[in-house]
Each structure stands twice: as structure tokens, then as C-alpha cells.
Amino acid sequence: MSMKFIEKNPPRTFEVGYDKKGIISDCGSMYLEADEQITLFTEAGGEYDVTKKDWGFYATPSLNGRLAGFKLKAVLTKNRYDRYFIMILEEGKEEAFQKYVDEEPLQIVAWLDSAENLNELDSKLNSK
């Protein structure tokens, strides 16, 4: 068996958010075998890969390499219930992202978007 996509038509919808509510549409499910990859595209031409391995997933392309090359950057956030999320911000959408962070509200824990930021985080974690 190889990659399999199961479309949900109509999509399953559900409410998200705490103070400001929104609706998410779950459009389908993707099943991958080890060493298979899917690529998601932005309207601006950015690419986001997810790769299945026999041990789990590469959840992102290299944070300070391919992801940055496609004008995307990762950020680690935390919500009010101490749940952590890695979010991928599209270049040029910083204002919309900051509005979302403020409305939820979310705390930005660390930017995971440059060698400098990643090396600083690495140093902090390895100095303990």
C-alpha cells in the first residue's frame, strides 16, 4: 500500500478558539508509508513537506534551510492552558499572525526560523 487520500465530502467542521471563535473544515485524511512525502503549497509559491519515516514523521522541512527558502518560518507557541504548538508563518503575513497571537492569546516561546535563534536555543538547552 502506498499513499492514500480519503476526502471528506462534505468536510467535517468544528469550532476552535477561546475568546474569538472560528470554524475549521477537516477536508480529508492522508495515509503515508515509510519514506513517502506530501508537499503542501501556499498561494505565494511556498512549499511545506511532511515525510513519513518508519519511526514517525519529519514534521517540517529543515527549519533554517528549505523552510526558510520557501519564505516560511517556524515558531514555538504556548496557549493559556500550557499546550504547545509549532506554527508555520508565511512571509508577509506577520500582521495577521500577530493579530491571531494577541486574540487567542498565545505566548511566543521561541522563533525556530534562523541558525542564530536555533543555536541560541540549543545553547540554552545544553547548558542545563
How high is the pLDDT of residue 53?
Answer: 97
How high is the pLDDT of residue 1?
Answer: 64
DSSP secondary structure of 17-85: -SSS-EEEEEEEEEE--TTEEEEEE-TTS-EEEEEEETTEEE-SS-TTTHHHHTTEEEEEEE-TTS-EE
Query: What are the tens digits of pLDDT across the range 60-119?
Result: 999 999 999 999 999 999 999 999 999 999 999 999 999 999 999 999 999 999 999 999
| Domain boundaries, given as residue ranges, for the chain | 4-126
How far is it, in rounded angstroms, from Cα 47 to Cα 88? 11
pTM given for the model: 0.86
